[in-house]
Structures are given as structure tokens and as C-alpha cells.
Amino acid sequence: MGNLLGSWRLKEPSTVEECDSTWGSDSEGDEPAAADDSGVSEAAGPAEGDRAAGDPEDASPQLAESPDSVSKMKRSFYAARDLYKYRHSYPNYRKSRQPNEYRNLRFYLNKIPLVPDGIYVEEILTKWRGDYDKLEHNHTYIQWLFPLREQGLNFYAHELTQEEIKEFQSTREAKRRFLAAYSLMLDFYGIKLLDKSGNVARASNWPQRFQHLNESQHNYLRITRILKSLGELGYEAFKAPLVHLFLEESLCHNTLPNMLHSALEYFVYTIRLPATRRRLLRYARQHYRPAHAFLWGPPPKRRGGVGAGGGGVGSGSSGIRAPAPTPEQQRRGEESTGGIGTVVSSYEAGASLDLAAGLGSSALMAAGPRERSEHNDVVLL
């Protein structure tokens, strides 16, 4: 029976709508608190402080797509599924049988260097700040500075584990250096960290750095990784201020127009609290041009429905497709039915709590060349 249970997998979403729970409990008011996607309680985030954006109507970039091209735009399922797995703590990951060496923690304690370059974290933090050429062209340090529970392109870097995350969060020296690494990368992007709540603003070097960031789009993949790592290591509340700044710069000031798609498709969806995602997406929708091309919700309301047995939306329904159940909801449903005879469409049923606490590898598929490159790098960087 143990082997049989070990082969089962929790049901995974098969559409963008099932991956995205953002609007599943929509309310036009901004909720002060809400349960996050993962089922793990998070510390309350800092006030997101909508910044004054001058005259957004005049400053908002105008997209040049024709109505025909706009109608063909759609969200990436592969991005949505990758971020669903992240927000839900990689539900189908199988725990490694290898001993946990805590290499990420030991790196941040300055006890071992990153591999393959042989550089210690303290050297990066003290000597690399302001060396923008090195930060731009070296591609091995980012996986060590911002570890995740998924494999990156630097195969010498080690994936985080649940046990290592707990140890990291209780180690003051590691947390201090992690925030210093975050500040280092913000400076590289032309941004400064204002306080211990995660609020951010333009740095004095922002004109040159924003110009570079707008043109160096592989850094958007790094930013996705940084946001994920913030959430893994106890700084979930730091995400919203940074994402809000990127949306404001892209939409209202047109300083980072090339970043807009990544901010909406990736950055926002690294945030676990649906209420926080809704606030950011409402802000984006207010300034997005053309308004009818905004793809990220809320879903349009439908009126009426089909007759009995038609399988359509009934009268009075909002027409919002229910998101896929979380791993915790699936577990509870199985417990209520005794865990026997559960039908899970074309996916295998999940019955193991160990799997629900694990992490999973991200898919490496995409619909088009740009999506394929961007998604694969976001997953692996």
C-alpha cells in the first residue's frame, strides 16, 4: 500500500483559469486580510501605499495592436502552472533521499563558496556592489543568492528543502546577508530598499539603470526568481511593494515598457495572497491601454444560462470558473470520503500528506518561441 500511495499524484490544473485563484473570491473592496493560496499563514504585508503617479491618463503607454491582434492575445498556461506550483509549495515533488547538507544556509553563513566560481557570499556583498558589468554578465551567482525549491541553470547550486528553510529563517546572520543581497540587486536595477517592511523607491541611479533594465530582458527572469526566493525565506511581504513599483514605472511613467508583460504574467502571480494580487491587478487595469486588452481579470460577468443538463452557467452565476482545489482542500475532501473511490478526471488522485508538503519540478513547455524561452528561463534560472 505504501508503494501504491507513493505513486499517486495530486490533481494538477489543466487550464489558466484553474491555476489562477485570484478572482475566485472577488470583492470590489480591498480586503484587509485573506488566506493565501498555499494554506500556510503569512505575516501581514506592509501597506502597499499606492504612489502618486502624476497624470496616469497622459503617461500610460498606448499599445499599438490592432483589434484583431488584441483578440488573439492570451495568457500563458505554462507561466500560470509554474506559479501555481510555486504558490502551492510544489505539491507533487518527491523528497530527495540524499542527505540534507544545508548548502544554501552554509553559503549564507560564509562557510562555503558558491560553485563553480569559488566566491564567498561576503565577497559578493562587499565587492560587487556597483560593479554592474559583473552583476550583468555573471550567471552563476543568482541561484546561490536566491535559492528556490526547484533546479536552476547552475546545476552546482542546490535546491532548498523545507528543513533548510526553517533553519534559515531562524538564523540571524543568514537573514541579514540575504537582505543585503536583495539590496545589492535592487541597486543594480536602480531601486533602493527604504525600510525593514520592504518598501522601495527609485534610487539616484535610476535613469541609467532603468534604461538598461528595459533593454536587458533576461533580468526579468532573475526578478521572478528573486520574488520567489523572498517568499520562500520569510519575506513574502516584500514582494508587493516591488511589483507595484514595476507596474507604476511600466504603466504610468513608461520607463520600463518592455517589462510590463513580465510584471503582469509573472511578478504579480508570485504573490500568495489573492487579495494582494487583486489590488495590484486593479491598479494595473486602471492604467492599462488599450483597456479592452487587459487579460488578467476580473473575468467578465455572465448573465443567464443554459437549460437543465446543458452544463452551462446558471442564472445569477458570475460565470467565474472555480479555481483548482488547493492540495489542502483535496486532502480534506479525500478524508471526508475515506480516501477511496475518488475520481480525479485524467489525473491520479493524491492521498499522501508528504506529497502535499513537497515541491515539484516545473514544466518545460511553451506555445511560442518567446514564451518557451521566457518560461523555461523563469523556471530554471
**Over residues 324-348, mean pLDDT:** 41
Contacts of 189 (CB under 8 A, 6+ apart): 209, 210, 213, 219, 223
Q: What pLDDT is stored for residue 98 in this prediction?
A: 64
Predicted local distance difference test score (pLDDT) of residue 154: 72
How do residues 76-118 score in pLDDT, each as one tens digit? 999 999 999 999 998 876 776 666 789 999 999 999 999 999 9
**The three three-digit cell numbers of residue 35, written as one number:** 488566506
Residues 6+ positions from 342 with CB-CB distance below 8 Å:
333, 334, 349
Q: Label residue 234 exposed, middle or buried (CB < 10 Å: 0-12, 13-18, 19+).
A: middle
Give the model's pLDDT for residue 300: 73
Q: Which letter does DSSP use for residue 259 in this model? A: G
Q: Is the pLDDT of residue 268 over 60?
A: yes
* pLDDT mean over 328-337: 47
Give 306's pLDDT tier (boundaries 50, 70, 90).
Answer: very low
Burial group, residue 45, by CB count within 10 angstroms (0-12, 13-18, 19+): buried
- Which residues touch 92 (CB under 8 Å, ≥6 apart)? 9, 10, 12, 85, 350, 355, 358, 360
Mean pLDDT for the chain? 75
**pLDDT value at residue 97:** 62
Taking only the tens place, the pLDDT of each residue in 10-31 is: 778 899 999 999 998 654 444 4
229-250 pLDDT, tens digit per residue, is 999 999 999 999 999 999 999 9
How far is it, in rounded angstroms, from Cα 110 to Cα 129?
17
Which residue type sits at 14? S
Mean pLDDT of 175-202: 98
Q: Report pLDDT for 368.
A: 38
Q: Cis (ω within 30 of 0) for the bond into 116? A: yes
pLDDT at 297: 85
pLDDT reported for residue 313: 34
Whether cis (ω within 30° of 0) applies to the bond prior to 290 is: yes
pLDDT surpassing 90 at residue 131: yes
Question: pLDDT value at position 10?
Answer: 73
Q: Which residues contact 37 (CB under 8 A, 6 or more apart)?
A: 21, 84, 87, 88, 272, 273, 274, 326
pLDDT of residue 8: 59
Separation CA 36–CA 43 (nearest Å): 11
**pLDDT tens readout for residues 53-80:** 333 333 444 444 444 444 567 899 999 9
What is the rounded CA–CA span in Å between residue 339 and residue 270? 31
Name all contacts of 162-166 with Cβ < 8 Å and 24+ positions apart: 162/357, 163/100, 163/102, 164/100, 164/102, 164/104, 164/105, 165/232, 165/233
Residue 298: cis peptide before it, omega within 30 degrees of 0: yes
The sign of the dihedral angle between the CA atoms of 294, 298, 299, 300 is negative
CA distance 244 to 48: 8
Question: What is the pLDDT confidence band of residue 5, given thresholds at 50, 70 and 90?
Answer: very low
Q: Please tell me whether the overall predicted TM-score, pTM, comes out greater than 0.75 for this model.
A: no
pLDDT at 11: 79
Determine the Cα–Cα distance for residues 194 and 46; give it in Å rounded to an integer.
Answer: 12
pLDDT given at position 44: 36
Side chain identity at 343, as an amino acid letter?
V
Q: Alpha helices, DSSP H only, in the chain? A: 2-7, 16-19, 56-59, 67-72, 77-87, 103-108, 121-127, 132-137, 142-145, 162-169, 172-188, 206-215, 218-232, 239-251, 260-262, 274-287, 327-336, 353-356, 369-380
The pLDDT, as a whole number, for residue 64 is: 44
Euclidean distance between CA atoms 139 and 233, whole angstroms = 22
